[in-house]
Structure formats: structure tokens, C-alpha cells
Amino acid sequence: MGITIYLEEAAQVSVAFIIGAVIGLEREFRSKPAGFRTMILISVGACLYTILSKEANAGSSDRIASNIVTGIGFIGAGVIFKEGISVNGLTTAALIWITAALGMAIGYHNYPVAIVVTIMVVIALFVLEPVQRFINGFHRVKDYKIRASGNGEYLKEDLENFFRKHDLSFRCMKLVKDNNDAVYLYRISSPDRNYDLVNQFLLNHKDVKSFDV
């Protein structure tokens, strides 16, 4: 291999480094599990594996590329976790997947597509966030995780009477015991989206140790 080939491959991994850094900055800013360095390593690693697959024996290139996708799937699964009835980490997992794809695109010299997709990802992460918040403002259903001291039987009765009094639709999704505390998972629907009443009730109730929305 000539020096020109080495320089070209160095340029490829450098571009992959920059793209991974751009995407990783947003994750780092939001203190997500896969942040700045992780996204750089994923992008550069996918690019490097793609370059090596092209230099391998004929017929093996597609197998290496498919194995990159499989490996990235394991990494993505590691940042997804379920807490109660909520699932977190899906956006980060999707970013890991698309960052690897961008690294592969650079490895195959498909710079135009890589640049366009990177711009689209940045727009989705930064520009569309206010749009998502605006849409979330129309949600009429919220999930509450409420931790009560003891068995929480009085809290449950008070809480459900409160819901009925204020015409709130509700459903107790789950009840678990954790360190001698009762933990309730409620799905609440408010037609006027006024959840401040619910929050204030929980803040003032003597049996509520904590709650998450």
C-alpha cells in the first residue's frame, strides 16, 4: 500500500472522529450514558472495521459489515433500561446505531450521504427538541411512581378519592414493596392537562415519601 492510501484512510477516520464528536457533544450536554468519547469511539471503530473489511479477502466484506451492526446492537441494548412502566435510553441507543452507520458510510467513501445524515441528526437533536416539548404539552396521560411509607393503604384511598373528586381518570398499573415501602405506579389522565393539582396533593400528603412523573 502506498502512502496515498494511508493518508486517505487517515482522512476517513478523522472525518469519522469529527462526526462522532458532533453527535457525542449533544449526549454529553444532556449527561446521557453514551456521551462524547463513546460516540467518537463508535464512529471511528465502525469506520475502521469497514476499511479493514474492504482490504480483506473477496466475499468477506459484507460479513464484516453485518457483524458491525450486530455488535452495535449489543452496545445499544446496554443503554436501554426499564424503570417501572417507563423505558429510558431509546434515543441514545438509536444514536449509537446511526453513529455506527455514519462511520461505515465514511469507510465506504460515501461522504455526501454521511454529511447529509449528520445534518439531519443534529437537526433532530437540537432544532426539533422545542417541537417535541410543544407536542408533549398536549399529552393528557402521565405516569406517576409514588412511594408511600408503610403499606400505603390510607394513601391509596385518599389518592383515588382525590382523583374522583377532580374527575381524573386513573389506573393503578402496579404495586410493589421496596424496603418496607409501598410503591404505586399510577397512570393518570387529565382532560385539561392540569397536573399541578396532583403534584400539590402528593407534596402535601404526609404518607408520600417521594414521587416521580
Determine the Cα–Cα distance for residues 152 and 208; give it in Å rounded to an integer. 8
Residue 104's pLDDT band (boundaries 50, 70, 90)?
A: very high
**Would you say residue 77 has pLDDT above 70?**
yes
Rounded to whole angstroms, how far apart are CA atoms 180 and 38? 39
Of residues 40 and 79, which shows the higher confidence score? 40
Report the pLDDT value the prediction gives residue 117, as an integer from 0 to 100.
94
In the chain, where does DSSP find H-type helix?
3-29, 36-55, 61-78, 90-107, 111-122, 129-136, 153-165, 196-204
Tens digit of each residue's pLDDT (9 = 90 or more) over 122-158: 898 888 877 877 776 666 678 888 888 877 778 888 8
Per-residue pLDDT reduced to its tens digit, 7-33 = 888 999 999 999 999 998 888 887 777
Q: Among candidates 145, 133, 213, 157, which has minimal Cα distance to 181?
A: 145
Structural domains in the chain, CATH included, are 3-134 (no CATH), 141-212 (3.30.70.60)
Asked whether 94 and 26 are in contact (CB, 8 A), the reply is: no
